[in-house]
Amino acid sequence: MRTIRLIITALLLSAATFSVAGQSTLYKFDAGAGLGMSGYLGDANRSSLLKHPGFEGELSFRYLPNVRWAFRGVLSALSLSGSTADMDNVLPSSGAETYDFKSTVYDLGARVEFNFLNYGIGETYKRLRRWSPYLTVGVGVSLSSSGGETSVAPNLPMGMGIKFKISQRVNLAAEFTMTKVFGDKVDGPVLNDLNMIKTAFYKDTDWYSRLTIGISYEFGERCETCHYVD
C-alpha cells in the first residue's frame, strides 16, 4: 500500500512539474541591442556590399500585440566607406582620379515585423515555436555626416531575419536589412552621380545594408486568460 502511495505521489509531482514547464507567459514589450556589419552601395561602389565593410550598432524597442506581429522602433549608428579606385566608368566631379569617403550615419526608424511561426515557449495547443523566421519593413530618417557636411533624408528599410528564444524572456536574433535612402549625400557632398546620368530606382541615390546579431529582453506580462482588453 505504501509503495502504491509513493508511486501515485511521484506521478502527481511529475504531472505538476510538466504542467509548470509547459506554461507560457507572453509579454507586451521587448527591448534590446545589437552589433554587426554595415555595407554601402552607391556612386563609389556599384557591385559588392563586402568591399568596404563597416561597423553597426543599434538599440530597439518592440510592442508585441501577439505571437505573429511586432511593431518596432530602431535607433542605429553605422560607419560607411567607399572608393572609386576600382571603377573605370566614372567622371569624378572633383576632377581627381579617385574619390574616397567615410561617412557616419544615424538611422531612426519604425518597422513592422511578421513572424512566419507562432513565436514563443509553452502550450502545444497554441503551436508556439521557440524559433521563427520573419520579415520586416518600415520607414525612417537617415542623418549622415561626411566631408564636413551633414544631410538628412528619408529612408525605406527592408529585411529578413530569424529569432530564437534562449529562455522565456530572452531572445537572440540575426537580421539582414537593406535600406534605400532617398538622397544622394550619404557618400559625401562631392560625389553626386558620377556618370551624370539618371538611371533606375535601385541605382540613383544611395543604399546601405546591416547584418546584425541582437539580444533582447521581454517585459510587461500580457493577460491571456481574462476576457477584457487591459
Q: Which residues pair with 72 in a beta bridge?
A: 62, 111
In sequence order, the 6+-apart residues with CB closer than 8 A to the CB of 107 are 74, 75, 76, 77, 78, 140, 141, 142, 143, 155, 157, 179
184/36: higher pLDDT: 36
The radius of gyration of the chain from alpha carbons, rounded to an integer in Å, stands at 24
Using one digit for the tens of pLDDT, what is the confidence trace for 20-51?
334 457 899 999 999 999 988 876 666 677 77
Residue 28's alpha-carbon distances to 127, 169, 191, in angstroms, are 19, 11, 45
77 and 104 in contact (C-beta within 8 Å)?
yes
The reported pTM is: 0.78
Residue 138's alpha-carbon distances to 37, 74, 108, 144, in angstroms, are 20, 10, 11, 19
Tell me the percentage of the chain whose pLDDT exceeds 90: 50
Which of helix, strand or coil describes residue 19? helix
CA distance 215 to 169: 11
**Residue 95 confidence (pLDDT) above 70:** no
| Domain 25-221: assigned CATH number | 2.40.160.20
163 and 32 in contact (C-beta within 8 Å)?
no
pLDDT-derived band at 89 (thresholds 50, 70, 90) equals low
Mean pLDDT of 179-206: 64
Using one digit for the tens of pLDDT, what is the confidence trace for 113-165?
999 999 998 766 678 999 999 999 999 999 998 878 889 999 999 999 999 99
Mean pLDDT of 201-208: 67
Determine if residue 193 is left, alpha or beta; phi over 0 gives left, psi from -120 to 50 gives alpha, anything else beta: left
Tell me the percentage of the chain whose pLDDT exceeds 70: 68
